[in-house]
Amino acid sequence: MSDKPTILVGRKLPPAVEARLARDYNAILNTDDTLYTSEQLIELSAQVDAILPCHSEHLSADVIGKLSDRVKAIANFSVGYDHVDIEAAKARGIIVTNTPDVLSDATAETAILLMLGAARRGSEGDRMVRAQAWRDWSPSFMVGTQVTGKRFGVIGMGRVGRVTAARARGFDMDIHYYNRSRLSGDLEAGATFHDNVDSLLASADVLSIHCPATAETKGLLNAERIALLPDGAVVINTSRGGVVDDDALINALKSGKIFAVGLDVFNGEPSNIHPGYRELDNVFLLPHIGSATKETRVGMGYRALDNLDAIFAGKEPGDRVA
């Protein structure tokens, strides 16, 4: 019987990550890549020393309360950890970690893709060409909105927000941001700080949301705040769907208050997304692929394993969130 710790892996991971898992641990791999139910997670917990979940596995207070006492850690394969009840984990003495830093570039790339796709009517044009519905050209054909030189507003100037702002500067955009605290001058890099969200919104021709999903940020972009945006603004979200009031955003898209949105995350994803988004042309939608590059997914896996290595060596993990 091996004395290596046993790790339950929530989803199928990159081959290089699974190879390292197999080398250093007794790994229960999810070769079929099927989503574990809460009941299965609870049942399997009796066999494992740690769980390595993705954001798709929801470890609620009820689930965590029923995990085996054998479970010492939850090492998330994600930077967000709103799918884990942190307080319940703390109460059980379960260490929780995440994977920051390694996905900043990939998510920033996705944010810029969403901005350009929304502003230049990317999905609408793609559908037109595929359906052989493109018939003519004229000066009024498929006119979008230009982002070069516009004001780029960031809610949440953490790692991803800062990298996205740096990419936006490549379009000569004027950076404005709201953060819980003002950044140092070198990190701010000439951006304009706003000490509240409402002030930022009035200065955001493009609004990029990068704040975590918390009780405080739930429904942050609601009808009242959308009204503060400049007419014809573009909204992009790569954080979590919960920070947006879907009905309010869809109404603003229909009225023309908002020119277009680009979304990679949704309330109720993947199967219970608000149907209103699919009915509109001025939306650019992606299926939560902000970190979906080969390099980033391997980096995330290695970061999660670095945390597990530290935990089982009796050291403090570098990315502990609980």
Tens digits of per-residue pLDDT, 2-27? 789 999 999 999 999 999 999 999 99
pLDDT at position 177? 98
Cα torsion at 240, 246, 248, 250 (round to 10°)?
Answer: 120
Count of structural domains within the chain: 2
The domain that contains 11 carries what CATH number?
3.40.50.720
User: Does residue 288 carry a catalytic annotation?
Assistant: yes
Measure the CA–CA gap between 27 and 305, rounded to whole angstroms.
12
Task: Based on the fold, state whether residues 57 and 125 are members of the same structural domain.
Answer: no
Task: Based on the fold, state whether residues 118 and 52 are members of the same structural domain.
Answer: no
Task: Based on the fold, state whether residues 146 and 272 are members of the same structural domain.
Answer: yes
Task: Based on the fold, state whether residues 119 and 176 are members of the same structural domain.
Answer: yes
The pLDDT tens digits for 120-132 are 999 999 999 999 9
User: Is pLDDT at 1 greater than 70 in this prediction?
Assistant: no
The single residue of 269, 279, 297, 316 carrying the catalytic annotation is 269
**29 domain-assigned:** yes
Measure the CA–CA gap between 185 and 190, rounded to whole angstroms.
7
Task: Based on the fold, state whether residues 202 and 237 are members of the same structural domain.
Answer: yes
List all residues 6 or more positions away from 184 whose beta carbon is below 8 Å from its beta carbon: none
Measure the CA–CA gap between 98 and 321, rounded to whole angstroms.
7
Task: Based on the fold, state whether residues 86 and 127 are members of the same structural domain.
Answer: no
User: Does residue 240 carry a catalytic annotation?
Assistant: yes
**93 domain-assigned:** yes
The single residue of 159, 162, 240, 297 carrying the catalytic annotation is 240
DSSP of 74-118, one letter per residue?
EE-SSS--TTB-HHHHHHHT-EEE---STTHHHHHHHHHHHHHHH
The pLDDT tens digits for 284-316 are 999 999 999 999 999 999 999 999 999 999 999
pLDDT at position 29? 98
Range of the domain at 49: 6-101+294-312
The single residue of 288, 295, 316, 320 carrying the catalytic annotation is 288
Confidence band of 41 (pLDDT split at 50, 70, 90): very high
pLDDT at position 11? 97
